[in-house]
Structure 1
């Protein structure tokens, strides 16, 4: 009986490995029309480019390569989201460029995690990628869209080089992340008490509220974010992690090695960058932007809480700004309320175009 069980387990393991290899060709599929053929003006390309001395990967996809370019800054740090965006409706409106940032996803390279792996380096990388895209697609300006950690990077990038961007679309804005972490801690503690989860209450009380030493943030975030997700502060009506992990495992654009390295890149990126994120107050660092600013924020978000993001939106100066609130979303309204998100995005685009008339 043990031999039979062992044989079944071995067979299932081989099947799982085979399935992982089959779903990991490291290539992107063409964008096809209703006739099944690739659209004649479409673009679907994975490309490795040299950015400030390092190899970084761009996934460029759009139904029409002459449409405006939209650079997407993923969250994390170190958590590319292209696996959730391939085939997304954004590809109808833009040439969507998913950039695996330095050390993350396909851009993983263990040698980059050194003294240069800091926020200012990422800002310089984002500027360089944006400049590369303006030349590649012969467009004087591009659109910038960011999520979570990407919103922190996006604000600093737009502030540094505003002439590169037509508008900035921010999803779940980081503003003062130390304040946000304190709100998140208090909310999780209150939720654990309300649910009668004494073990989690005791763990949180032993931990104590933020701030923490630089070397303690990664460990805290790994278990605290699990509670945020479980209580509906990450994705309001579901748990984001199973959805996200499944999307990575099935992502054709990553090789098996890319998928193995994905977690290493995420943990190292947080370890190196998060202390600087929580030490920065964008209310003071970036009080004004020179591009139109559009914020898409879920009211149930307890990773980058609504109250903190809303306060930054209210205070920041911009030539044009609008807030789009999502009543059935937490940290990812682009995925939680996709139809409402696209209506809001269309409204923002119309607003930008009205400024240029």
Structure 2
């Protein structure tokens, strides 16, 4: 992996920092990074969404972390919630032949409706969503059928047979979706108490880290063994760090810290086994080779084959991009 020790961001509030990490904007709703990559790469598997988010519950910024905003609505993320039914209503309610007739009739009516109107990305996305949903009824049960996995594989992800939740489940689901052509999969670990926000007791991070340590290591190893890691970029990050000090002698927790935190990357095009940047001697600020969130985004897009300054979309009279007017590719991280 390539470890970045000098990450920093522009906001200390959960909502704004989470929004910024996902969209490049710390104040306004903008397309998420997954939507930008879906827009740039398109769909590889027409029976599955190109952008999937797997999370037990919503994050601080809510649905904005996977929204397409002004990009065509077909590029918004699809939420998968770990459990017995990760995606609701995936089982067909009528026989397949009858459903095909219903979809054909619905498509004909939608086309007639659209013909009398200007280009409407939301209508086009809704029409496409019916087609994708039909394909998902075939593809989703297979993608989330972990009975196809060996006992050894399940154990490597810290999973028991039949288990349908936990970060190990999210990681194994991600590998199975990547295998099936999903372009962008985001895993959100909200922690046992809903988040990692350790204001009360920093030691809660010990258990939270233990819950994710084995599964993410298993995912990297699994991708490598299957020959997928060289073409898959894995990014591990958070919205900001925690202060390197307690506010008082008897305080057990740590506060929000946007000036220094760590992230790591692995896989496609990433230089292996390096540490980039460093904080000052107190761990207070990114002092050596600082990497802003915009720089991380520029680097991710570069590794996905894009020039972050040219992947743009015209909206409200100007060309928008994920990095807005900021961002530099961190070339020291590139293989």
Q: What is the TM-score with the length of structure 1 in the denominator?
A: 0.28
Q: What is the TM-score with the length of structure 2 in the denominator?
A: 0.29
Higher helix share: 1
Q: Using CA pairs below 8 Å that are at least 6 residues apart, which structure has the higher relative contact order?
A: 2
